[in-house]
Structure 1
Amino acid sequence: MSESTSTPGLIVTVGPIAHGGHCVARHEGRVIFVRHAIPGEIVEIALTEHDADAKFWRADVTRVLEASADRVQHFWPEADALRAASRQSIPVGGAEFGHVSRPRQRALKTAVVREQLQRLGGLSAEILDELFSDGVQDVDSSGTLEQANGLGWRTRVGFAVTPSGKVGMHSHRSHTIIPIEEMPLALPAVNDLRLWEHDFTGIERVEVAAPANGSGVLVLVAPAAGLSEKAAGAAVKRVARSLAGCQTPPSVARWNFESGAIEVQSGRGWVRETTADHEFRVTGDGFWQIHRNAPKILTDAALGALLEGGYLNDGAHVADLYAGAGLFSAPLADAVGPQGSVLSVEAAPGTSRDARKNLHSAAQVEIVQSRVEQVMGGERRGLSAVVLDPPRAGAGKSVVRSLVAQRPSAIVYVSCDPASLARDVKYFANAGWQVDRITAFDLYPHTHHVETVVRLTKVTPSKKTDLGRS
């Protein structure tokens, strides 16, 4: 990869949006993936990856010659490609749609979800018209003005650290760290720490968890590789003392980002997350949905899809796969009642321990710390329904095969990546299953990411043609 080399002056007409946060353009027969553009614009670009034998090149916009009506001033100077180009720099990643109006952002994401489900998933255009007519839905319209503008929603933020000890963020597909002095997408509690004013010399990564309920912030610091134990310990203690001077001091823990192990320096090594009906302990960097509204939106969507079809009721037997700390397991346990059962499967040891603590009073929940395919690949469990929320890479063929073998009546798949979702949908289709419900939410404003919830059911003979390509 040729990293962030500048070859300005190339003029292109921007084509359609593609998965991954870029648009497709062509120059002399070469495909170029262009970031910070909008379909239909004419722009000047700087090539950032352009190996002669590469199948495609990558580029950033440096100047707009003919702008889309949906182009707006980027809210974050450090992430704005145009301002970065004017200072002969590169933008930070993480806000690649910040130059696009919010309605157009959702339209672009809708187009990506449709394209992936049609091209990779095999769903026809007619089925998508029927099931996905609402497109990607806004989740911030009822918030504050800042939230309605797509800001102040992240409850989790990761930072890199420059060699001089300043917090920053990487540019897209780059090892370059750009110092920052704000993170507009984060909750105020994150920015209130003013991490950019602290010295993080000797620290490689900083992760911040700031629950939307205001119950206390946790800062995880990972010492730089190669430091002696004495030097690493001293760096962590110095940061903890510095952060103790914040107006609202956070908890601070030393963090091994490879093993997940933490060593508390001050406060506690976990945060308390809450939903309307449940409280959850999430230790260290354990997984939790990062948008402040995501827990409610996704649990309502997933359980609603099962309730709507009559697949979830008192006495039902369900599985929650890739269960994390129990976000879906807890309301599923409420829904099935004491006569039903919930199998909650999570591979990460620390997060599985959190689930045991969070669900200890629900006798109908069985917590299993294991890989999903190992648990589901065994004997039949008599499941009524399954909810799965896999990581970005998706579930994969072996997991799909094991789920199909369990013969549940319905499967609800929660996905943060349209491409891996579409691939898995195709695996299900090949096994005789169909998508019969699709909802998607803009839970990552100003980025290309989108959260999608689909329901899959066994194909009946009269509907086998519904999965045909258009």
Structure 2
Amino acid sequence: MDWTDRVLDLEVGPIAHGGHCVARFGDGHGRVVFVRHALPGERVRAVVTEDAGGAFCRADAIAVLRPAPTRVEAPCPWARAGGCGGCDLQHATPAAQRALKADVVREQLRRLAGIDREVEVEELPGGALGWRQRVRLAVDDEGRAGLRAHRSHEVLPIADCLLAPAGTLPPLLAHRFTPGSEVEVAVDADGVVHTDSDDTAGTAGRTVQRAAGREWMLSPGTFWQVHPALADTLATVVGKWADAPRGGTAWDLYGGVGLFAAVLAGQVGRDGVVTVVESSRRAVEDGRAALADLSQVDWRVGRVERVLSGLTGRPDVVVADPPRKGLGASLVDALCARAPERVVHVACDPAALARDVALFAERGYRLAELRAFDAFPMTHHMECVALLTRT
């Protein structure tokens, strides 16, 4: 069975994790079709873009036969069938995008953790366009920078990206770069545009970023949140829920440059200890420089899985901001064995978060609080923060 390039008329069902909606084609239950650029309740005509011959295939909506009330015209011409892989939801109002993302979080918690919970995805300041302060561009065989097509290595010759601050990308897109390379563009807290590529190796300057009342000078390529309001937002929520005691012990796992460590250090004071575990040596060097005045911060360079076994004592609170795959069973086991009173889990993938919440529940921790933020408008991505407390 291979339906590639076949055109289907579909009644579109609910949003699914990953930016597409679920439809079925055929009698009875039919075959599952994951449709991009559609909205729940719509009737669309879609072309099948991928079909491995299994229980499902992938398609792009190419015509809307019955639009949803929340459908709008996408502001970017590349947010369409066969277009850029970055934006999944430009065809919905910003409020509708947040509602769809809330549906995804709610469904992942129900399906993977057995938790029925109302979820709100909160809007961040700044609007739905012009927020992305870091963009990674791909370079084609002719040296032109652009963005990749959805699930493809093809580089699209864009003139601009509306998610980036206005005026940031057009001057760079006029340049030629090393074919096959990548270009990272970052706008810092002072509005200065920094470019890091094979052609600027060793010459890209440090970027200045500010959050939680402090300032960081970051080396090229060091991670910082792409939405300008997210770092401060996360620092505030993490600080409130961590509530580390004076003189206590806090662990900041996958701690990066120490955004959360700065907040935790203020809570434990000079007599407490905040241990940061981070695998990127460059991030740790930048973090040490930024938090040089906080002697209670102890930096450990290495993978969390390896460093954790060498940490002694019982932490009062653990803050974890793992990669997209989440913590997983072995790390959850290791953390619960130390019996912290609270775990603050920061997650960019709602499915991974739900799986981790289920693992913590099996080990005696309940989901006490949850907040979700629309940190990536126009896309299916979001950022969640969960508080898990020992029962």
> Structure 1 residue 32 and structure 2 residue 33: aligned?
yes
Q: Which of 238, 247, 251 is residue 302 of structure 1 equivalent to?
A: 238
- Say if 1:105 and 1:446, in contact at 8 Å, map to a contact too: yes
| 1:159-205 alpha-carbon deviations (Å, 9 max, x no partner) | 111222211111111122111011111123633x5222111243511
Q: How far off its partner does 1:218 sit? A: 2.1
Match of 1:218 in 2: 194
Match of 1:250 in 2: none
| 1:354-405 alpha-carbon deviations (Å, 9 max, x no partner) | 2222222210000000111222224542211011111111111111111111
Q: How far off its partner does 1:301 sit? A: 1.0
| 1:278-333 alpha-carbon deviations (Å, 9 max, x no partner) | 111222211111101001111111111223xxxx2322211111001111111211
Match of 1:107 in 2: 99
- Say if 1:316 and 1:340, in contact at 8 Å, map to a contact too: yes
Matched pairs, number: 387
With 346-355 and 91-100 compared, the bigger mean Cα shift is at 346-355
Q: How far off its partner does 1:117 sit? A: 0.9
User: 1:382-393 counterparts in 2 under 5 A?
Assistant: 382-393=314-325
Match of 1:362 in 2: 294
Match of 2:123 in 1: 138
User: Higher helix share goes to which structure?
Assistant: 1
Q: How far off its partner does 1:339 sit? A: 1.4
Q: How far off its partner does 1:122 sit? A: 2.2
Match of 2:8 in 1: 10
> Structure 1 residue 182 and structure 2 residue 160: aligned?
yes
d(CA) in 2 for partners of 1:5, 1:25: 16
- Say if 2:144 and 2:179, in contact at 8 Å, map to a contact too: no
Relative to 1, partners in 2 of residues 1:366 and 1:201: Cα closer, same or farther, differing over 3 Å?
Answer: closer
Match of 1:375 in 2: 307
- Say if 2:89 and 2:380, in contact at 8 Å, map to a contact too: yes
Q: How far off its partner does 1:411 sit? A: 0.4
Q: Counterpart of 2:274 in structure 1: which amino acid?
A: V
Q: Counterpart of 2:217 in structure 1: which amino acid?
A: R
Q: How far off its partner does 1:6 sit? A: 3.2
| 1:137-163 alpha-carbon deviations (Å, 9 max, x no partner) | 1112xxxxxx32x01111110111122
d(CA) in 1 for partners of 2:193, 2:273: 34
- Say if 2:212 and 2:235, in contact at 8 Å, map to a contact too: no
Q: Which of 18, 21, 25 is residue 20 of structure 1 equivalent to?
A: 18
Relative to 1, partners in 2 of residues 1:189 and 1:272: Cα closer, same or farther, differing over 3 Å?
Answer: farther
Give secondary structure in 1 for the equivalent of 2:78. helix
Give secondary structure in 2 for the equivalent of 1:108. helix
Q: Counterpart of 1:324 in structure 2: which amino acid?
A: G
Question: What TM-score, normalized by structure 1, do the two folds share?
Answer: 0.79
With 61-70 and 424-433 compared, the bigger mean Cα shift is at 424-433
- Say if 1:136 and 1:441, in contact at 8 Å, map to a contact too: yes
- Say if 1:281 and 1:325, in contact at 8 Å, map to a contact too: no
d(CA) in 2 for partners of 1:422, 1:282: 32
Relative to 1, partners in 2 of residues 1:151 and 1:454: Cα closer, same or farther, differing over 3 Å?
Answer: same
- Say if 2:321 and 2:345, in contact at 8 Å, map to a contact too: yes
- Say if 1:34 and 1:58, in contact at 8 Å, map to a contact too: yes
Match of 1:47 in 2: 48
d(CA) in 2 for partners of 1:428, 1:276: 29
> Structure 1 residue 274 and structure 2 residue 266: aligned?
no
d(CA) in 1 for partners of 2:122, 2:311: 39
- Say if 2:212 and 2:263, in contact at 8 Å, map to a contact too: no
Give secondary structure in 2 for the equivalent of 1:139. coil
d(CA) in 2 for partners of 1:365, 1:17: 43
d(CA) in 2 for partners of 1:176, 1:210: 26
Gaps of 5+ in 1: 82-89, 141-146, 223-235, 237-252, 255-263, 460-470
d(CA) in 1 for partners of 2:307, 2:113: 26
Give secondary structure in 2 for the equivalent of 1:25. strand
Relative to 1, partners in 2 of residues 1:5 and 1:204: Cα closer, same or farther, differing over 3 Å?
Answer: farther
Match of 1:336 in 2: 268
Q: Counterpart of 2:153 in structure 1: which amino acid?
A: H
Match of 1:226 in 2: none
d(CA) in 2 for partners of 1:301, 1:187: 26
d(CA) in 1 for partners of 2:312, 2:141: 54
d(CA) in 2 for partners of 1:33, 1:340: 51
Gaps of 5+ in 2: none
Give secondary structure in 1 for the equivalent of 2:107. helix
Q: How far off its partner does 1:408 sit? A: 0.8
With 368-377 and 107-116 compared, the bigger mean Cα shift is at 368-377
Q: How far off its partner does 1:40 sit? A: 0.4
Report the aligned-residue RMSD: 1.7
Q: Counterpart of 1:158 in structure 2: which amino acid?
A: R
Relative to 1, partners in 2 of residues 1:328 and 1:97: Cα closer, same or farther, differing over 3 Å?
Answer: same
Q: Which of 337, 357, 378 is residue 405 of structure 1 equivalent to?
A: 337
- Say if 2:33 and 2:59, in contact at 8 Å, map to a contact too: yes
d(CA) in 1 for partners of 2:45, 2:94: 24
- Say if 1:189 and 1:210, in contact at 8 Å, map to a contact too: no
With 369-378 and 443-452 compared, the bigger mean Cα shift is at 369-378
d(CA) in 2 for partners of 1:190, 1:430: 48
- Say if 2:141 and 2:180, in contact at 8 Å, map to a contact too: no
d(CA) in 2 for partners of 1:185, 1:207: 15
